[in-house]
Structure formats: C-alpha cells, structure tokens
Structure 1
C-alpha cells in the first residue's frame, strides 16, 4: 500500500466519498451538506458534483437545487450482479474455513421461507455424510443459517413465517414457540452468530455466521457443521472466530462496510 495518494488518486477518492455520502442520505442534499459530510471544501465538492452531473450520475432538482444520485448507479449494480456468482465468491473462503475448522462448511440463503444450500465443502479428514447437498432445503427456525436469515424479518414477517411453517419439531431441542424463537433471535442478533445445538438433526451441531451485502443486509450465511462428539463446547468456542472471519471476508467481497 503506497504511503501517500497521488493528487489524481486523491481526486478519485473524493469523488467516491461524495457518492457514498449521497447514497447514505435518505433525502436530496444541499451542496454545503454534501461538502460538510464528505469533509471537503464546497468548491471542491461542486467541481466533482458537476462532473458526475454531466455524466448522468447526479440529478439536481431545479426548484430546491438539491442533489441526488440517479438510477444509473442501479444499472451498474445490476450489471455487476449479473456477473457475480455468490458461490464462486464464497467457495475459496469455504474451503479455507473447512481446513481451519476440520469440518463440513456450507453456504445458504433464504428461498420461500426455507434455507437453500448453495454450496457445501466437506473436509476430507472428517466428512459429515449426513449433510445436505447444494439445492436441498432446510427449515429456518432450527438451523444456524436459518436463524441468521430470520434476523431480516420484522414482527409481521415473523408472524407470517410462523403461521406458514408452524415451527415444526425435528428433535427434542427444536424451538417450538414464538417467544422462544424471539428470545433466540435476540441472542443471535446480539452475539453476531448462531448455533444449532442438535435442533435440526440429532447428533449434529452447527456454527453459523452472517454474510452481508453492501447495505449491511444479511443475504447469505455460512456454517460449520459436525457431529456433537467433535463439536464440544470448547471446540465450538474456538471455531466461532473462524466462521465470523470467513463470513466477513465474503461480505467484503460483496462490498459491505457494515461489519
């Protein structure tokens, strides 16, 4: 990493600071507010804003003279998204996580109120043969990945989820009440990871960590899964940082700064 940015690079940096400042605002912004939030002189901000305006990336309201970003950024985002496969991004990190944890590691997302496994990396030394294959579904309320994805839902959405899925029992440890689920999700949100303590499959435990997009929303989650005989409390405690670190690296690859 160079010690000092060149003048040209400093200009590029300031442009992106302006873009990110405006992107985080919920309303169109005045020039002086943009300059203050971006910590640059108003004259400098105006120069860069005019450039972005001429390229179609910024709109100025003719009445209020306030500035906002245009949907041209959304078009670029869509184009980038079409080129990116989350499986391709996550796989190297899953492989490394499997090596570090010496267990099976998975990537999953939500689809129709269920977890869908997108990728599974088995550790050749300690293969967990029960594990789901890509494309297979699992319940949300009793899996580590599912609990993390449930954090995206508000109370009305959680109500709809419970009415639809009924919190079905899978083992003696499965969460089966609304109050217990809310309590568990509160713990998950506070600690930043989720544990499946034989709640989905007898004899199998799981540690899951969230993968966030550029806005900080949990789009995916990854997990370490293994038999209870190996995933002892001490081993779980030691493996949690591995899962969080891998999830954070994937999140950064997706553009998040919300870690």
Structure 2
C-alpha cells in the first residue's frame, strides 16, 4: 500500500444498520404505519415491509392493525443490560436511600454516544412530574442542560467536551439553558471546584436539580447521581447546601461500592 492510501474503513453490515434505523423510527414516531416508516427512511414499501415482518417475528416489533410499536423482547433485553451494569449494581440501593431522604426523584445516569441515559430512578414520597421523568428515561438527553449531564461533562477534558458539543450542539430548552460555549466551560470549571452541578430551570420551567459525578475504580467518570424537584421545594439552603451535600455523599458511597466490588472479585 502506498503512503497516499488511506487505511480501510471498518466494515459495516447494511442490513443491521437498516433494521436499527427502523427500530429508532418506530420508537421516535410512536405507532407509525408502514407508509410513515418508508417516508422517514426514503425506502420502498416492499423492502421495509420485509424488515418489519422479520423484526415482528423476532419479537423486536409488534403490529397493531396498520401501525407498529416496539416489541416486548426489548423489556427482557434492557433488564439484562441494566443488571449487568456495574454502576447499577453499586448504585441502586444508594439511589433508593437518596430518594427516601429527600422525598423527591433521584436518578442514576451515564453517558452513551454524547447523551445522558438514565439507568435507574427512584421516586420519593413527594415526587412529582412522573410523565416527564418517564419521557426522560425513554430518550437519551443532552448533557448541557441537566445537573447530572453537566456533572458528567465536568469530568471530561476540554477536547472531549468540544467533540460532544460539535456533535450534539447546545439546544435551548428554556430561557435559562446555557447556549454559549464559553459560559458552559466556565460553569464546568465551577462544577469541578465544588464537586456538584445544578440545573436551575434549564431543562424545564419550574424544576431544579442537583447532580454529582461518580468516578470508577480507574479514576475516570462512570456516571452521575441527581435529585430533581419543583422550584418551590428545592430552594434556599435546601438547594444550595442540604441537597448538594446528600447528592455528593451518595456519589461517594456508590464509588466506595464500586471499589469494594472490585476488591471482592480479586480475593
């Protein structure tokens, strides 16, 4: 091979990519028809129908009349994925305890492809906005407008943050959302110094949250924990000191659980 030749690109299986895109379209559109899916993918009805029939037969899709939705096979697969995640095993009980102590929603999250994914949530006695939290759990979220997302971003170096922003942008959710890169980088530096992040109505009006990063046994960030509550309850000292202290303590406990699990496996 000459010096001018570029290295071979990794090979991809087009049929798998197509099936993945179909599943994503079904999830995003919610109960689309064959025509809806074809329009999204710019493909012939015959081709897409074959894929749909196969995905239905394998349990990945379900057909209800003329529309499609995700199949129940994803339920068992997602449970297997979560149960095999070390962060979930180390953090579940601690997140339950955090929700019980704050009486609000507590979340355990990680980063996947530049977005925030919730792998577990626990509902405190006074928690509200259940529908909102369900939607958030179903779709990976941007990192720059949530407390846990900013906590995660704060643990990346500037080059990694820029790469994520180049890919995902700085979408504006509310008037409080940070949409300027310089402001975001300054905020991330503050988060590194104090050990936690806040979301002051940056994702949805009327809601605040506090999040802290969780470091793995290698010292790198592996997730984040957060508490979300209405502004009427997450205010004053509770917003500035009480809940941040509880969230940081919970992150530290999860880190200890991760470390202990590794130690136990090595014995």
Give the TM-score, by structure 2 length.
0.62
What is the CA distance between 1:83 and its match in structure 2? 6.1
Aligned 8 A contact 1:104 1:128 in 2: no
- In structure 1, the partner of 2:218 is 215
Residues 230-255 of structure 1, C-alpha deviations (whole Å, 9 max, x = no match): 11122112111111111100000111
- In structure 2, the partner of 1:190 is 193
CA distance in 2, matches of 1:147, 1:229: 22
Backbone CA RMSD of aligned residues: 1.8
Change in Cα spacing, 1:138 to 1:84, as seen in structure 2 (3 Å) is: closer
CA distance in 1, matches of 2:215, 2:92: 16
CA distance in 2, matches of 1:189, 1:124: 31
Aligned 8 A contact 2:100 2:125 in 1: no
Change in Cα spacing, 1:127 to 1:152, as seen in structure 2 (3 Å) is: same
Matched, 1:205 2:208: yes
- In structure 2, the partner of 1:139 is 142
CA distance in 2, matches of 1:242, 1:154: 26
CA distance in 1, matches of 2:126, 2:181: 39
3-state SS of 1:183 partner: helix
Matched, 1:247 2:241: no
CA distance in 2, matches of 1:168, 1:117: 19
3-state SS of 1:162 partner: helix
Aligned 8 A contact 1:213 1:254 in 2: yes
Change in Cα spacing, 1:155 to 1:205, as seen in structure 2 (3 Å) is: same
The answer to which of 148-157 and 227-236 deviates more is: 148-157
Return the structure number with greater helix share.
Answer: 2
- In structure 1, the partner of 2:31 is none
- In structure 2, the partner of 1:89 is 90
CA distance in 1, matches of 2:226, 2:171: 22
Larger-Rg structure: 1
3-state SS of 1:149 partner: helix
1:227 aligned residue (230, 237, 255): 230
Residues 85-107 of structure 1, C-alpha deviations (whole Å, 9 max, x = no match): 42232111111101111110000
Aligned 8 A contact 1:118 1:135 in 2: no
CA distance in 2, matches of 1:83, 1:111: 16
Residues 14-63 of structure 1, C-alpha deviations (whole Å, 9 max, x = no match): xxxxxxxxxxxxxxxxxxxxxxxxxxxxxxxxxxxxxxxxxxxxxxxxxx
Aligned 8 A contact 1:148 1:209 in 2: yes
CA distance in 1, matches of 2:176, 2:84: 41
- Count of paired positions: 175
- In structure 1, the partner of 2:155 is 152
Alignment of 1:103-118 (within 5 A): 103-118=104-119
3-state SS of 2:245 partner: helix
> Where do 5+ consecutive residues of structure 2 fail to align?
1-82, 261-267
Residues 124-166 of structure 1, C-alpha deviations (whole Å, 9 max, x = no match): 3333322245453211011111111112322222222222122
Aligned 8 A contact 1:148 1:218 in 2: no
Following TM superposition, where does structure 1 have runs of at least 4 consecutive aligned residues deviating by more than 6 angstroms? none
What is the CA distance between 1:199 and its match in structure 2? 0.6
